Amino acid sequence: MMAVISAQAQIKRSDAFRAKYELKEVVVMSRHNIRSPLTSGGAAYKRVTPYEWFKWTSPSSQLSLRGGVNETAMGQFFRQWVVSEGLLPDNYRPKEEEVLFYANSRQRTFSTAKYFSAGFLPFANVEITHKLAEDKMDPVFKPQFTKMNDKYRQQVLDEIEAKYKGGPQAWMQSVQPTLTLMEQILDMAHSPAALEGDTLHFWYNDTQFKIEKDDEPRMTGGYTLANSVADALVLQCYENESMAAFGHELSTEQWRDICKVKEVYDALLFTTHAAAINIAYPLVSRIREELNRNDRKFMFLCGHDSNLASIGAALRLNYPKTENALEVHTPIGSKLVFEKWSDGNETYVAINLVYASVSQLQNRTLLSFDVPPMVRPVSIEGLTPNADGLYSLSDLDARIAEAMAEYDAIEDASTALAPAA
């Protein structure tokens, strides 16, 4: 019951609130919905378990049918919300520039945007903007370093080291009981890898980090295998829980523990502030541009969990600890929602994280005000909202400008070494 009350309070605003403010625009930064594992059927998966992995309805890395149905349901919920706020009429066919959908060119992100648009604007036949051929990585959504020098590289590595008391090794060691659980689920002792004298256990004592220009932050070593297996197991739980753990019945808490294996990996790579101001720069600047427009009513960006993580770290957003979810901060299909409100004199912003609960994802629940998704407010470190929970747009804009200035201050070694014209 508490979840419903929270969602109603954050999305379906009170009459007093609506009498005071008018919704002007919504900017959504979405993570794609349920996909098949990135390397399903790959050699690493075949070798760490004697069992046959779950057969997906979609090819490796692509959005599943369940993911598409869930995204359409989320689009329908957003339609009900914006119609109730008077931002758009029901069954609207938007004018040019009023609505924009822009997705990374991966199939799972493009399809997520397409399914959402079908629920959100069913009569509009919305075009999904994407810049590259299918399954190519758009630089706007690729969390890559576009500036690099030795001093900056060391700053990123130092922040990774300081992310957890005792360093990355200690953080990985904290999930050792879960790694042992995963070994049992997989029956790793009887896997092809074990029988060939190769891999008997997950390991992490050889972990290293690679921070290079024109590439994502990367981790090498044994923990990457644990991360990939955890990712595949959790996705199977969303898609078909009864078949997800090879006959083992796991509690919700155990599934959350498996999620933590992947979350440690993502947090180390994508949530240090030094890395985030660089790898999130294209999306941060695009969000700033959108929030300062006057002709747009709705903007939908669709990317990846790394995008939500790095945007949050760059802008010093405090993501809430989720409820009724497996992931702690940005569950599969979750949306970082910027709501732009005006009282006639000043413009304000509310920021929420919107996501479907585990049961809603598994059961393909139709969402509405009566059966809402989970909605949790996102706070901004160092900024104070007004009595209605809104931040001044000028304050948020200054925060974004600060992050962009930090990026501008990074001296790129290739530029520094270039000969004078």
The CATH number covering residue 225 comes to 3.40.50.1240
Residue 233 lies in a domain: yes
b or e along 352-372 (b: 16 or more beta carbons within 10 Å of the residue's beta carbon)?
bbbbbbbebbbeebebeeeeb
C-alpha 227/C-alpha 190 separation (Å) is 20
Which of 68, 169, 80, 76 has the alpha carbon at shortest distance from 113? Answer: 68
Residue 69 lies in a domain: no
Residue 208 lies in a domain: yes
Q: What does each C-alpha distance from 383 to 77, 286, 389 come to in angstroms? A: 30, 21, 11
Active-site positions? 32, 305
pLDDT of res. 42: 56
pLDDT of res. 4: 37
The structural domain count of the chain equals 1
pLDDT of res. 323: 93
pLDDT of res. 132: 87
- Which domain, by its residues, includes 226? 150-275
Residue 172 lies in a domain: yes
Q: Any residues with CB less than 8 A from the CB of 253 and at least 6 apart, and which?
A: none
pLDDT of res. 417: 38
pTM score, whole prediction: 0.94
Mean pLDDT, each 10-residue run in order, the chain (421 residues): 40 87 98 87 76 89 96 97 95 93 97 98 94 89 98 97 91 95 96 88 94 97 93 93 92 96 96 98 98 96 98 97 93 98 97 97 96 96 96 98 98 59 32
Say if strands 99-103 and 391-392 run parallel, antiparallel, or are unpaired.
unpaired
pLDDT of res. 414: 67
Residue 177 lies in a domain: yes
pLDDT of res. 399: 98
Residue 375 lies in a domain: no
